[in-house]
Every structure is written in structure tokens, then in C-alpha cells.
Amino acid sequence: MREMNVLLLKVKIPDAPGLRPGKATDRSIRWLYGGNAFHVTNMPISDLREFLESRIFHQPVIDQTGLTNNYDIYLDWEAARYPLILGSLREVLLEQLGLELVPARERIEMLVIEPAKNSAKAVLLKEVSTSSADESLWNSRNLAHLPPLLILRPTRFDREGLGRDVTHVMGQLRMRLKNQLLEHLLADACDFKVDGNYWPRPARMVLPPNLPKERYDLLLTVPDGLGALQKEIRKQFHLTVRREVREVDALVIKDKTPETSADSEKHAPTTGSISSTQTTGQPPLWRQLSLWDIAQNIEGQQGKPVLVQTASTNRFDLSIQPVMKDGKLAYDEEVLRRAFHDQLGLDIVPSREKVEMLVVEESKN
């Protein structure tokens, strides 16, 4: 038994409208089970408890409702990023089912795997136990049940084992990454993202020339996770990481200026998207992409940040091919400008912009 942070599932409003006894007597069905919906027919409340524990909160949830019937439950809550989604779900649980989740400290039974000690078979058992424990740590479905750990090591997984699990438990970050590039781990150490993207392009990074090219695994479940990870990076790689706003060369996607807008009226989207096939005479290279997706693709080729400074929410087709430049594939900026002008009815222009960057430097001590 170990004392842990848990959530207690309790009844607060006994006659809530959404807690309906199941009508079916011969079957139980999960219709929707994940994301921002939980629709089940003729299921026990324990199924909801398991869903909340393993899919949403990633920490032990203890059923203290006393409800023993099977129920038809249809829950829908606002889709949002953590932690907003948790607040929305709590409101729906209370309003529709009359249930509340109460934070608490409780002693619960845990599966504990430790190396064997002091026996004739200690060496062999230690190897088996360590292997089993390692597999459990790296493949466990629920990060909330893992003990406090910080493991940063060269990867032991192949490309098929590549993975990323990130969650929060009572506000504490927990992270498990497999077979990741070091620069992505460095970005994680600063919680550095571009519009929510966990894998920022190199154009947003200032990296030392001798950065290791190997891939790494990370298991992070200790308190103050990011601070501890930065210390471990300094210890292992003699590197410091930080976020810093710098003025850099960039490309900016924007609405056409008054001087050019008249020429683009015939290309303006009318049904939520615009096709490039009529302007290029060839199939589009990119189909139905948002401007953010297009910007990220261009940024990856050009090696400089590409910023979207238009409110357009349309999706676009775009046909343009990169050319070899200084031994690398890149887009000719004049060709790029004409493609945006003619196919999308937008401008893409060079500019000096203040952009948040990931700065990685060799540690001085």
C-alpha cells in the first residue's frame, strides 16, 4: 500500500437528469469512448471510473458513489487543450450525472517491481526483474501510476517504437518520449512550442554546431519536471537551454496590399478553399491545407521562420516545386511570391520580425 494523490468519484446530486438506468438487458455497448465524448449503453459506473482514470486524468480515480446499477450515459464536453478540458468535463459530470471529483490523499494498492537482493540467484533475478521493471516503465498505459523518475538515455527503441506521451497529474507534468531527436528534447525542456506544435522547425532554433545526432529516450515523472530536466541536460551534454525573443529574417504571409488586391479578386476563395489547378495548369502539390500548414512546410525548406499575419481561415491548394540551392532544396522566393499572388490571392514578403527562439549553448561550467 502506498499513499498517493487520487480523485474520489462521489454523488453530489442524486436525482441528476443524465444518470438513467440502462434499458437494455442483453448487451452493453461503448458507442463513443474518448476525445470529448463518453457514450455508453447499459454499463456500470466502474466503466466511467476507468475511463476518467486512464483516458482523462491519468491518476487513480476511486469510486465512492455506491451506485450498483448499469446506466445509459451520454456525456459531451467542450473540446479544449489541457487544463481547460478538465474543467469542462467536471462541469458536465456535475450537471448531467450529479457526480463530482474530489482531490484526496489515499493509501492504495500498487504493483511494485524491484530488483531482487541477497539470494543465491540474485544476479539472474536482478537481470530479469530490471528488464521487467524497465518494460513496465516504458510501456505502462498510465503515467500517473509511475514513481518519481528522471531517465534520459540513448534510445533503446527502433523507429517503430517511436512515441510521445505527455500528461499532467494534479498540475504536475509527466512525460515519456521514445526515440526522439535531441533538439526536440531540448525544446521540451523549455516547453518550447510553435502554435502548440511539439516539434518546432530548426528555423526557430539556435543550436551549437556539434550537437549530438543520436536519438534519445526520456521518462520524466519527478516534481518540477522541466527544471530537473534542464539540470540533467546540463549534466549529460554540458548544454543550457532557454527561450529568447530575437529579431530575425523571416517571411510573412499577409493579405494583399491595396495596390495588388484588385489583381487578385478573380482568385479570391468563395466556398472556403481555393484551387490552384486553374492558375498553374498542373495538379496542386498541396491540397486543402491551412495557411499554418503551408507556412510550416515552407519554413522547413527555407530555413527561416514563416509567419501568418492574415485572419483567413480558408484551406488552400498550392502548386510549387523547390529547387536545389547551395546543395539544399529550397523555394525560389520570387517564384514563391508569384505562387502566393496568383494561386492564393495573398502576399508572402521578406521581413525582419521579432520571433521567439530556442537558444541552446554550451555550458560554461
Distance CA 224, CA 174 (A): 10
Q: Where are the domains of the chain?
A: 2-108, 141-237, 247-356
Query: In the block, which residue shows the cell 457514450?
Result: 39
Supply the pLDDT for residue 245.
95
Query: In the block, which residue shows the cell 521562420?
Result: 305
Using one digit for the tens of pLDDT, what is the confidence trace for 238-271?
A: 999 999 999 999 999 999 876 655 554 444 443 3
pLDDT of 66 > 80? The answer is: yes
Cβ-based neighbours of 115, under 8 Å, separated by 6 or more = 125, 126, 129, 130, 133
Distance CA 195, CA 59 (A): 28
The percentage of the chain sitting over the pLDDT mark of 70, rounded to a whole number, equals 77
Q: Is the pTM of this model over 0.85?
A: no
Distance CA 20, CA 145 (A): 32
Using one digit for the tens of pLDDT, what is the confidence trace for 200-233?
A: 788 999 999 989 989 999 999 998 889 999 999 9
Instruction: At 244, list the grid cell.
Output: 529568447
Distance CA 209, CA 362 (A): 10
